[in-house]
Amino acid sequence: MTHDIAASPHAAPTAPSATLEGDAFTPSPDSALWRRDFLLGAATASYQIEGAVAEDGRLPSIWDTFSATPGKVLAGDTGAVACDHYHRWEGDLDLLEALNFEAYRFSIAWPRVMDASGRPNAKGIGFYRRLLERLKEKGIQTFATLYHWDLPQHLQDRGGWLNRDTAYRFADYADLMSREFSGLVDAWMTLNEPWCSAYLGYGNGHHAPGLAQARYATQAMHHLLLGHGLAVAALRANDPHSAKGIVANVGRGTPDSDSPADRTAARRFEVQHNAWILDPLFKGEYPAELFELWPGTEPLVLDGDMQTIAAPLDFLGINYYFRTHVKSDGAHGFVEVPLAGVERTQMGWEVYPDGLRDLLVGFRRTYENLPPVYITENGMASDDRVRDGQVDDAQRISFLKRHLAAVDAAIKAGVDVRGYFVWSLLDNFEWAFGYERRFGVVHVDYGTQMRTPKRSAELIARFIAERGARV
């Protein structure tokens, strides 16, 4: 999932296009969503669903440490059990198949597959091998994320992403995984949301490891992106037929007024949220304006680093959830502007589909070498309850339809979007918010581990089946 910072409510959204109407997912006849080469999938992450944190040689991660620290996670929740996916994975893949999803994006837990000396852990590797082989048997495409925030604690003890050596250890990990699973992975993603890892983990302390200095955030980001570039080289060497990419969470910033100061504030919001990651990847440089926003925080960059970071990619994963309305802080930055009377999710995030369309179109304009795009996460949290054996998540249904319509609008505007993954398959451990916020299209009773597909899941399954029947 994306960042846990509370977003202000913002101005009411405008639907990007009426391609999906009524209760069912039924796009207009000319919608790109009918194309059989447009992939529809679901996404999860290891620490959020697996549990079994001390089984079969798995080592502690920074999220085990962080969530066990009093006051860091709502209600003192941890991922120790989560959805018990480590033991229930076969049933979860059966559920994925029953819902007709064409692709599954999951993450590998780094602490589960290597020991502290970098040697492979056969039991952990075996778990992911069985998972991948079963997905292949079911004809479901495999999208594997190498790093979804669960850094081994022993590496954090040596500085974590502030230590340049962690980038090289990440490359070792990518090398091992791509040798072990060559031919089983359709698409590799090196990092999930480096903005969250760097800023929330090292800039404001809201996420593990809980450090809070802007200078830490920019150096951590550089080492994350360096690790990404080194990992891409290993993935290409060991698994040449798979696609290689990275996943960035992006934010839409809009100004509170048409004043030059507020327009600058909105632009700098997007520099901090988007260009900080995308400029190094696609321009080979950090945006200078970032260091006007955070003076004196330039990271240590060695010769050749930026070329490594800017290695060509086969695709870019985009995670989108909300926009942020801002005004100038009177200096170099921005402040959020809370606006009343808007639709929000359980997270307090505004429902703003136009932001996804606008960002996709803007990235195509800004980056001449932008590769094909997958929406690797999009979804919303709601306080879902099972009533009479059913979950009627009407707001989520509306949310998903409007955001799929925004994707369709971006495709019609010329953006090469190849697929869409709903976040998430299952309700799960939502980082600093524990188990209170439910993002799944499948409800999980954490006491019994019973899975109940929500109305949104049923409608998605129906649409995918209908699309398949058209061919």
Nearest of 258, 255, 252 to residue 272 by alpha carbon: 252
- Of the residues 102, 180, 193, 350, only one is catalytic, namely 193
Q: Which two tokens stand for residue 332?
A: 């170099």
Q: How far apart are CA 110 and CA 258, in angstroms?
A: 47
Annotated binding residue 161: no
Neighbours of 330 (CB within 10 A): 9
Annotated binding residue 147: no
CB neighbour burial string for 54-63, b if at least 16 within 10 angstroms, e if fewer: eeebbbbbbb
- Helix boundaries (H) for 55-213: 62-67, 85-98, 110-113, 122-137, 153-156, 165-180, 194-195
At CA 180, angle to CA 176 and CA 184, rounded to 5? 130
- Of the residues 102, 180, 350, 377, only one is catalytic, namely 377
Annotated binding residue 195: no
According to DSSP, residue 33 is labeled G
Is 137 tagged catalytic? no
| Residue 380: C-alpha distances to residues 5, 104, 168, 212, 431 (Å) | 14, 18, 35, 27, 15
Asked if residue 224 lies in contact with residue 161, where contact means CB atoms within 8 angstroms, the answer is yes
Annotated binding residue 430: yes
Is 193 tagged catalytic? yes
At CA 27, angle to CA 25 and CA 32, rounded to 5? 125
**Phi then psi for 377, rounded to 5 degrees?**
-150, 135
Annotated binding residue 89: no
Annotated binding residue 222: no
Annotated binding residue 449: no
Binding-site residues from annotation: 48, 148, 192, 321, 423, 430-431
Binding-site residues from annotation for substrate: 48, 148, 192, 321, 423, 430-431
Which of the residues are catalytic? 193, 377
